[in-house]
A and B are shown apart, each in its own frame.
Chain A
Amino acid sequence: MQKYILRRVLLAIPALIGLTIIIFLVMRILPGDVLTVMFGEEGTLQLSEDDRQRIIASLGLDKPIYLQYVDWLEDIVTLKLGQSFWRSHTVMDLILNRGPITLEIAILSVILSWVIGLPVGILAAMKRNSALDYAGRFFSILFLAIPNFWLGTVIVLTLVLTLEWKAPLGVINIWEDPWKNLQIVWGPALVLGLGQAAYVCRMSRSALLETIHEDYIRTARAKGLAERLVIMRHALRNAIMPVITLSGVLLGFLIGGSVAVEQAFGVPGLGRTLVAAFFERDYVVIQNLVLLYGIVFVFVNLIVDISYAWIDPRIRYS
């Protein structure tokens, strides 16, 4: 097992280096120069030559391109991650300040998707073509079609119009004031969790339906086990695998999706910081936050692979 984990971790390293190269290249193929992107066509024309040079130097863009890349790698390895152009924050400050809320939303919504999606999926598979099965399928199809940011906007609007309730403003971490923190994160977590529950429900239903027809399940039934035990102890163990992979994929999807949902709820998480950086054309912040999203994605996949091997011993030895 240790050997397997080590091998997977080592495989992640080239992936991370590849990420930095891709982001670096995309940020350098910006049409025109960075200044135009940051200040707009007209803004650039109004800059004096001195200002131009100063800004370019402060962004490190006067150096040859390979040195720029090496500088960035150095920033990453030393965890400095550069500085916001418009504010005094370093990108690391932003991540430490805004990151916990986004992480909380992601974890809560994954938990929620399992708590809702898994039981519904299991019951739907056990009682195939029952009313519950149809209801589950109907809602999962519906939730796949509803854009999460719209659902978020509708919830915010409904609460404002009927209860005149708004989530507290600003960054309030769970260790500072758990109750207020919960008021901030519940909305995005609910919306993202419901959307994911639709996938989890669909996947667990179809995976379970497939496993139920295997020989070893018939054996388990033949030896007189209660149906509940057959499902819980035998069928679920195999059926859960695709659901775990799916959750991994979804978690990546979720950190992307949370950008729009945070915007809808006005939650000051990383996603909203990224959107703000896009509007301010805050070059350094965008570059590093996108890298962070990529890194998280790679690590989620790593954890999925490892948990896969942990649940299914066959994978470790192949």
Chain B
Amino acid sequence: MAQVNPATTTGAEGEVLVQEEARAPQGWWWVIIHFCQRNPMGGVSGVMIIVIVAIAVFAPWVATHHPTQEADFRALREEPSAAHWMGTDDIGRDLYSRVIHGARISLFVALVAVVVGDFLGAAWGVAAGYIGGRFDIYSQRFLELMMSFPTLILAMILVLAMGAGVWTVIVAIGITRVPIAVRVIRSVTLSVKEYAYVDAAQAIGASSTRVMIRHIAPQCVAPWLVLATAHLGSVIILEASLGFLGVGVPLPTATWGNMLGGPVAAGLIPRWWMVIFPGLAITITVLAFNLFGDSIRDALDPKLRGRT
């Protein structure tokens, strides 16, 4: 046998491993099933998210038309029908296909912005909390300034400054997440820093970088996940608001916000299907992420239950 089976290793170490296996016999599946049993809403919203993500990933196959290039000028502003399940827009594009492709952009922007923004914020938060002193004070002051702007307006001027595009929207939205992540992770760091095992690590001569990465950061993972899932929902709304105002991902890309904003900006009275379907798409997606975020929070951090 080339590999040593952990369960068959002898001695104290082997016993520990056997015990762990007894506690979680089916590994990941067991975790997921357990999570769904304790948080039925979490299970339901998790399935919703999987479906939405699948739709986004396989958008070209799920959609019936091309979202931007297939404009049927004989079918302008048409009601939902067998040919166009959600009707057509002002220039005859199939709304259903646009809503489906909109999921792609929305989820992509939200995911990248949240992961990057919250990750930067978390790294900054760990550093500020652990190093403390002047660095901490100055970064606190600076982040307070960033938080003095309403999120939407901060994102708007950042997009203006960087020029319109998918990536600038992502960066702008990501930047709005940084101060929040710093605040949360910094406070976690401040409490973790006081634990004896951190003292022990310092005492045996671990460098600050090592202590931060190996000993403090792992403790921040659970609150970070809670924060990031909570942010996904609000970021999707933020992205849609930018699109609605016409300063988000540039036209003709089909995003949910762009679809809602186009007719309003043009001063046209939209038909009901042009308003209802993209809006429902946003609401259902955000609802799924918010419910899932709540369940993740309950599962990972029972102390926060019922708060915010």
Q: How far is the CA of A52 from the CA of B241 in the complex (A)?
A: 34
Contact of B161 among A18, A30, A149, A203 (CB under 8 A): A30
| B163 in contact (CB, < 8 A) | yes
| A145 surroundings in chain B (CB, below 8 A) | 233, 283-284, 286-287, 290
Binds B, one of A82-90, A182-190, A290-298: A290-298
Contact with A along B148-160 (1 / 0, CB 8 A): 1111110011101
Binds A, one of B24-32, B182-190, B193-201, B243-251: B243-251
Q: How far is the CA of A153 from the CA of B163 in the complex (A)?
A: 27
Q: Please give me the residue from chain B that is nearest to A289 by CB atom.
A: B153
Asked if A278 meets B275 with Cβ closer than 8 Å, knowing A144-B290, A160-B269, the reply is: no
| A153 surroundings in chain B (CB, below 8 A) | 260, 264, 270, 275, 279
Contact between B158 and A26, CB atoms less than 8 A apart: yes
Asked if A297 meets B149 with Cβ closer than 8 Å, knowing A160-B269, A278-B156, the reply is: yes
Contact of A255 among B150, B160, B278, B284 (CB under 8 A): B150
Asked if A290 meets B157 with Cβ closer than 8 Å, knowing A157-B275, A260-B152, A297-B148, the reply is: yes
Contact between A37 and B160, CB atoms less than 8 A apart: yes
| B145 in contact (CB, < 8 A) | yes
Contact between A15 and B290, CB atoms less than 8 A apart: no
| A120 in contact (CB, < 8 A) | no
Contacting residues of chain A (249-275) with chain B, CB-CB under 8 angstroms: 252-253, 255-257, 259-260, 263-264, 266, 274-275
Prevailing SS type, chain B contact patch = helix
Q: How far is the CA of A203 from the CA of B307 in the complex (A)?
A: 7
Specify which of A14, A27, A153, A203 lies most central, judged by the most chain B CB atoms within 10 Å of its CB. A153
Separation in Å of the A73 CB from the closest CB of chain B? 16
Contact between B245 and A298, CB atoms less than 8 A apart: no
Separation in Å of the B61 CB from the closest CB of chain A? 27
Q: How far is the CA of A298 from the CA of B141 in the complex (A)?
A: 13
| B286 surroundings in chain A (CB, below 8 A) | 144-147
Contact between B149 and A286, CB atoms less than 8 A apart: no
| A95 in contact (CB, < 8 A) | no
Contact of B153 among A15, A264, A274 (CB under 8 A): A274
| A209 in contact (CB, < 8 A) | yes
Q: Please give me the residue from chain B that is nearest to A266 by CB atom.
A: B264
Contacting residues of chain A (1-35) with chain B, CB-CB under 8 angstroms: 14-15, 18-19, 22-23, 26-27, 29-31
Separation in Å of the A38 CB from the closest CB of chain B? 11
Contact with A along B284-308 (1 / 0, CB 8 A): 1011001100100000000000111
Contact between B308 and A149, CB atoms less than 8 A apart: no
| B291 surroundings in chain A (CB, below 8 A) | 141
Contacting residues of chain B (237-263) with chain A, CB-CB under 8 angstroms: 237, 240-241, 244-247, 260-261
Contacting residues of chain B (133-167) with chain A, CB-CB under 8 angstroms: 141-142, 144-146, 148-153, 156-158, 160-163
- Contacts from B to A (Cβ < 8 Å): 141-142, 144-146, 148-153, 156-158, 160-163, 233, 237, 240-241, 244-247, 260-261, 264, 269-270, 272, 275-276, 278-279, 282-284, 286-287, 290-291, 294, 306-308
Instruction: Add 19 more A-B contacts to A144-B233, A264-B264 (CB < 8 A).
Output: A26-B161, A30-B161, A144-B286, A144-B290, A145-B287, A147-B241, A147-B279, A147-B282, A150-B244, A150-B279, A150-B283, A157-B269, A157-B275, A203-B308, A256-B152, A260-B241, A278-B160, A278-B247, A294-B148
Chain A to chain B: the 6 pairs with minimum beta-carbon distance, closest first: A256-B150, A150-B279, A145-B287, A256-B152, A145-B286, A18-B145
